[in-house]
Amino acid sequence: MPLRLPPLRGGHGLRLLEGSRELFPALIAAIEQAKREVRLETYIFDFTGASSEVAYALERAARRGVAVQVVVDGFGTPGVPPDWAHRFEQAGVAWQVYAPVGSLGVLWPGSWRRLHRKLCVVDGTMAFCGGINILDDLHDPNHGTLEAPRFDFAVQVTGPLVAEVHAATQQLWQRLRARHSLRGQALSGALFPPRPTAVPPWPQDPAPAAEQRARAALLLRDNLRYRARIERAYRRAIGRAQSEIIIANAYFVPGRKLREALASAARRGVQVKLLLQGRYEYFMQYYAARPIYGALLQAGVAIHEYSPSFLHAKVAVIDARWATVGSSNLDPLSLLLAREANVVVEDAPFALQLRQRLLQAIGDPAAAMDPAQYGTRPLRQRVLEGLALGVMRLALAVQGKRYL
């Protein structure tokens, strides 16, 4: 079956952003200059620390007449502080919750299909995509204050791809409104009503500037038309790799085809480096990843575990030219169940910049995981790994999915 992927188009300006410390100022600057519309989607919208500055910017934009529409995931963002709910309502910020979690929580089978993508589009002229939630780098909702910033990336985009981001966010917003209306609730799951006035169309963007030459594409993953685009893009790029593959991924439990692609690349002489989660965050994701390391290590894949803070990145660089930045983990929750969004880029300057940051995070090559030590892990750890993998397989079976 051919890999049906959207073509990469030229004329894009790209800016790599690391962590909320780089994303939030860029996002706020764009919101402050908005004249017509701001659309934002995120899994987590937290109001602690620097993330509150994004909330203030959205409030200010709505108060000056900009149409502001925010969609959050019902599991990632179970509630909004009452003071912020009041502020947003008074300002006119329109807010909807994707798949609010019912009384059964994650025990309900349908609750595993989440909105995990992080997208923002401003006035149809600038977009943001990546793995960074509206969440301060040094704050974790489950673990409190962090000693070092979370490691994650986003990309700021101008050019043709922006229209695709706008269309995707608009389509989801309209579907949520229609779904709630069919249930007899004008905006059930929405905290605040949208502005009644329509947003006027904006003029066509001017021709791209000379520096806007990067080729890029938006890859969406959903449970309808685009079920496998992101994984297929990874497999195609890995299969074409000639010298180097660097992947940084927070929750790494790839399926058989993706594992075989990585092992095959390593065996044919490609340097394959994986930067993976080294800190315990969630039981299932942390332990379920480790049973698959053995075959990759045997094939010659270098595995590094990131431990200064939580690794939350979902990025890759191949042959210092192809790169991807987005929200999709390489695990079944992302690749089979969640709504995700990645930007794929073919541009040497952008890829080299991301490569440099990843190599800095990897650090000393001698710190790579030792295959011999991996083979002698304690029995207790192996038991936990088997249990976590079993839980993941059971969760997928309940969804009618097989992946591992």
The tens digit of pLDDT for each residue in 206-216 reads 444 446 789 99
Residue 161 CB neighbours (<10 A): 26
Whether 9-192 and 214-398 share one fold: the answer is yes
The predicted pLDDT at position 107 comes to 60
List the one residue out of 236, 217, 211, 219 whose CA is nearest residue 319. 236
Task: Compute the C-alpha angle 68/118/279, nearest 5°.
Answer: 140
**Pick the residue with more confidence: 280 or 57?**
57
Question: Per the CATH hierarchy, to which homologous superfamily does domain 9-192 belong?
Answer: Endonuclease Chain A (3.30.870.10)
Give the pLDDT band of residue 105 (cuts 50, 70, 90): low
3-class secondary structure, 399: coil
pLDDT of residue 1 exceeding 50: no
The predicted pLDDT at position 196 comes to 42
pLDDT of residue 218 exceeding 90: yes
This prediction's pTM: 0.92
For residue 62, the 8-state DSSP code is H
DSSP string, 104-121: TGGGSGGGG--B--EEEE
Q: At what angle do helices 51-63 and 19-32 cross, to 10 degrees?
A: 10
Written as six digits, the tokens of 218 are 């938006």
Residues labelled catalytic: 116, 118, 123, 312, 314, 319
3-class secondary structure, 258: helix
Provide the residue type at 270 as one letter. Answer: V
The predicted pLDDT at position 193 comes to 54
The predicted pLDDT at position 211 comes to 60
Distances in Å between the alpha carbon of 117 and those of 256, 269, 286?
24, 34, 21
* 16-65 pLDDT, tens digit each: 999 999 999 999 999 999 999 999 999 999 999 999 999 999 999 999 99
Q: How far apart are CA 91 and CA 63, in angstroms?
A: 5
pLDDT of residue 366 exceeding 80: no
**Which residues are CB-contacts of 376 (< 8 A; sequence separation ≥ 6)?**
none
For residue 365, the 8-state DSSP code is G
The predicted pLDDT at position 197 comes to 41
**Which residues are CB-contacts of 243 (< 8 A; sequence separation ≥ 6)?**
270, 271, 319, 320
For residue 103, the 8-state DSSP code is T
**Which residues are CB-contacts of 118 (< 8 A; sequence separation ≥ 6)?**
41, 42, 43, 128, 129, 130, 131, 132, 133, 154, 327, 341
List the one residue out of 68, 115, 66, 65 whose CA is nearest residue 88. 68
pLDDT of residue 307 exceeding 70: yes
Q: Where are the domains of the chain?
A: 9-192, 214-398
| Mean pLDDT over each residue of the chain, to the nearest integer | 90
Q: How far apart are CA 122 and CA 125, in angstroms?
A: 6
Distance of CA 188 to the CA centre of its chain: 26
* 321-357 pLDDT, tens digit each: 999 999 999 999 999 999 999 999 999 999 999 999 9
Written as six digits, the tokens of 128 are 């943001």
The predicted pLDDT at position 318 comes to 98
Q: What is the phi/psi pair of residue 319, to 5°?
A: 55, 30
**Residues 12, 163: contact at Cβ < 8 Å?**
no
**Which residues are CB-contacts of 43 (< 8 A; sequence separation ≥ 6)?**
72, 73, 76, 77, 114, 115, 116, 117, 118, 133, 327
**Which residues are CB-contacts of 362 (< 8 A; sequence separation ≥ 6)?**
246, 273, 275, 304
Number of H helices, E strands in the chain: 12, 17
pLDDT of residue 299 exceeding 90: yes
3-class secondary structure, 80: coil
The CATH topology of domain 214-398 is Endonuclease; Chain A (3.30.870)
List the one residue out of 257, 255, 209 whose CA is nearest residue 389. 255
> Tokens 């480096």 belong to which residue?
273
> Tokens 């089978």 belong to which residue?
109
CA-derived radius of gyration, the chain: 21
